[in-house]
Chain A
Amino acid sequence: MAAGPQPTPTANTSTYAGFGIPLILPAWVIIGFFLVVPVCMMLIYSFLTKEFRGGVIWEFSLAAYDQFFFDRGLFGDEPPKIEWTYITIFWRSIWQAALATLFCLIIGFPTAWFIATRTGRNRSIWLFLITIPYWVNLLIRTISMKFLIRDNGPMNELLLSTGLISEPIHIINTNLAVQLGLFYSYLPFMVLPIYAAVERYNFALSEAAADLYASRTVTLTQIILPAVKPGIIAGCILVFVPSLGAFLAPDLLGGAKNFMIGSLIEEQFKGAAGNWPFGAAASMILLSMVLVVLTLYARQQTREQG
């Protein structure tokens, strides 16, 4: 099973090298302007003094980070203790995002495998079916989910009519509802990268393993999983990171009762608090956490490959 003819390194460089910089320039400009500049602004804002009811005063201040880490009581004049409020909110968000990632993986992996093992036309149809719901706006889908799971909604009425349950299952406005929303919103982000990895997987390897008397479990854990691991990791990152900052699901399905990171940050800009430096600081702390996770992943990848 030889792969097709490989281009030699020299052919590679001489063919493409001349176009490299002009081709990449637009991307660099866009990323530089619309990503780096806002992040820098956020970083600067997080170190400024808050103006009453929104806005900032251009004076250096650590108040935002102080508020995040130290609890000085209701009136702000007690000796500082460790502030658990925001740590709790972050922990809740991480926990929810991790669970959503796990559920997406459990459902997404077999789905991706199924699609990748279909033949040409069927495969396109299955892929198409996966993406169809995502042509509808996330807000609409989240509200529809709310209609489905409410106490007297279709799901409960169906279950009641079949006699499986005698009391409606109370899901709406609970953490379970938030979890359901996150899982549902980001499932395709898990399926698609894994699909791409499985599609590239050389099934002759599975046959070879079987010929050498490997059990199905061993084939899965020793042969298949290592081969499609990059797809799984990419999928996990793509689900975990947006789940961490989600605010539609907690607001609409969770009843906005418990802040998640996203809603906490939103409140700083849109709520009565109007505390922009604190919102920026919370965003920076979230961003740093995500960067640490991604850096660890990248380092592990290079170690494995190098």
Chain B
Amino acid sequence: MKNLLKLGASALALSLAANAASAEGKLVIYNWFEYLPQDLIDKFAAEAGVEVTMDTFDSNEAMLASLKAGKMGTYDVAVPSDYMVEIMGGDGLLDTFTQDEMPNFGNIMSQQMNLSFDPERKSSVPYQWGSTSFSVNRDDYKGDIDTLAMIFNPPAEVQGKINVLDSQGEVLALGSMYLGIPQCSTDREQLKALNDMLLAAKPHWASFGSDVAKDVLVSGDASVGMIWSGFSAKAREEGANVEYAFPKEGYVVWMDNIVLLKDAPNRANALKFMNFMLEPENAAALTNFAAYTAGVNGTEPFLSDAVKSSPESNPPATPVGQLVQACSQEVQAVYDTIWTNLKK
């Protein structure tokens, strides 16, 4: 019995010591799924001497809900898109830093500065940016794909073979562009038209899904899939004969950012990580993995040829992509009703 007690006590002491040792060297990341390669995590862990853990989410809103439901103080950094940075900032979920806390701050591209969601980059640094549009399997459909009608009023060949992102913001933004109405419109007729158009389109859709958006194209379950640009490039790499469209009505661009969360348990390591990701070589490694575009100068020499020449990452001069807007509470209430109507 005495020995057992001793054993227990030493085990306890050991685990306490281990905790104390690792408490100073930790970083907890909250990121999108399939969005940070293990090599980069390992590289950062080795360079900074910290232990990295990462949880993932599949939509900006899911991340916000989780943070608001008591996860503040758990994570050091998160990776929200443009409009979500603004929302999180407005809700007081973000901490700020100064430029001299981050040696690589100057690497940020000038067009990534002065953006409305964080004008002076006080809480965020660029992660990757890309677009949301759709891809078409060219074995199944050979016609013109330069229009959002491929999703919202599809030709007979692809009806019933369409996957749509399970993402209210992007679906309603693209739907508004298709109808030629502004995002977050307050005009009743326009909102009614948006509702009716989506309800009429739904019977042609096979499924809603974000995390499966690439797989349904690769497996052939879907001939047309609303998708993020990098996911489309990956689907192509995995053998799907898909072409990514930049439709004439417009498409969504987004900018994902690493934000410093309020009450971050490891603020210093969080800043180290943000600085690490602004290093051109690391930003390029991320781009090579995710197939989007970095917001950092000097990545060019480190980029793979596949990424450099990827049609998804080289949009035409026109049309210009639009950021998803965060709607007012009144319009959001209507958007929610439209979304429930769509999925009921």
Query: Residues of A with Cβ closer than 8 Å to B?
Result: 52-55, 74-76, 85-86, 88-89, 150-152, 172-173, 251-252, 255-259, 267, 269-275
Contact = CB atoms under 8 A, between A and B. Distances in A.
B268 to A, nearest CB: 29
Contact of B334 (A74, A267, A274): A74
From B61, B69, B163, B329, residue with most partner A Cβ within 10 Å: B61
B239 to A, nearest CB: 14
Given A89-B344, A150-B221, A257-B343, A53 B334 contact: no
9 contacts: A74-B337, A86-B344, A89-B344, A252-B212, A255-B206, A257-B343, A270-B62, A273-B339, A274-B64
Nearest to A56: B68
A85 B340 contact: yes
B341 interface: yes
Contacts of B335: 272
B344 A173 contact: no
A54 B169 CA distance: 16
Given A151-B221, A152-B219, A256-B209, A271 B334 contact: no
A255 B329 CA distance: 29
A76 B191 CA distance: 13
A150 to B, nearest CB: 6
Contacts of A85: 340-341, 344
B1 interface: no
A255 to B, nearest CB: 3
B220 interface: yes
A270 B206 CA distance: 22
A33 to B, nearest CB: 17
Contacts of B208: 255-257
Contacts of B192: 74
Contacts of B344: 85-86, 88-89, 258-259
B220 A151 contact: yes
B65 interface: yes
Interface in B192-245: 192, 195, 202, 205-209, 212, 219-221
A269 B191 contact: no
Interface string B308-344: 0000000000000000000001001111111111011
A127 B294 CA distance: 55
Contact of B59 (A151, A152, A270): A270
B61 A270 contact: yes
A256 B207 contact: yes
Nearest to A52: B329
Nearest to A73: B337
Nearest to A269: B65
A256 B206 contact: no
- Among A53, A85, A152, A269, the one with the most B-chain Cβ atoms within 10 Å of its Cβ is A53
Contacts of B338: 74
Given A74-B334, A75-B188, A150-B219, A53 B64 contact: yes
A272 B191 contact: no
A256 B163 CA distance: 10
User: Which of B65, B220, B333 counts the most chain A CB atoms within 10 A?
Assistant: B65
A271 B68 contact: no
Contacts of A275: 336
Contacts of B339: 271-273
A138 to B, nearest CB: 16
Given A271-B61, A273-B339, A256 B188 contact: no
Contacts of A256: 166, 207-209, 343
Contact of B332 (A88, A252, A272): A272
Interface string B22-42: 000000000000000000000
A146 to B, nearest CB: 9
Nearest to A253: B207
A52 B332 contact: yes
A86 B66 CA distance: 25
B47 interface: no
B334 A173 contact: no
A55 B68 contact: yes
Contact of A173 (B188, B207, B336): B207
B169 A53 contact: no
A259 B341 CA distance: 10
A156 to B, nearest CB: 12
Given A54-B68, A151-B221, A172-B221, A274 B61 contact: yes
A131 B333 CA distance: 46
B87 interface: yes
Contacts of B202: 257
A152 to B, nearest CB: 6
Contacts of B91: 53
B206 A53 contact: no
Nearest to B203: A257
B96 interface: no
Nearest to A251: B209
A156 B189 CA distance: 46
Nearest to A152: B220
Across the A-B interface, the 5 shortest Cβ-Cβ residue pairs: A255-B207, A272-B168, A256-B208, A270-B62, A273-B336
Contacts of B62: 270-271
Given A54-B68, A272-B332, A272-B335, A74 B191 contact: yes
A267 B339 CA distance: 10
Nearest to A279: B65
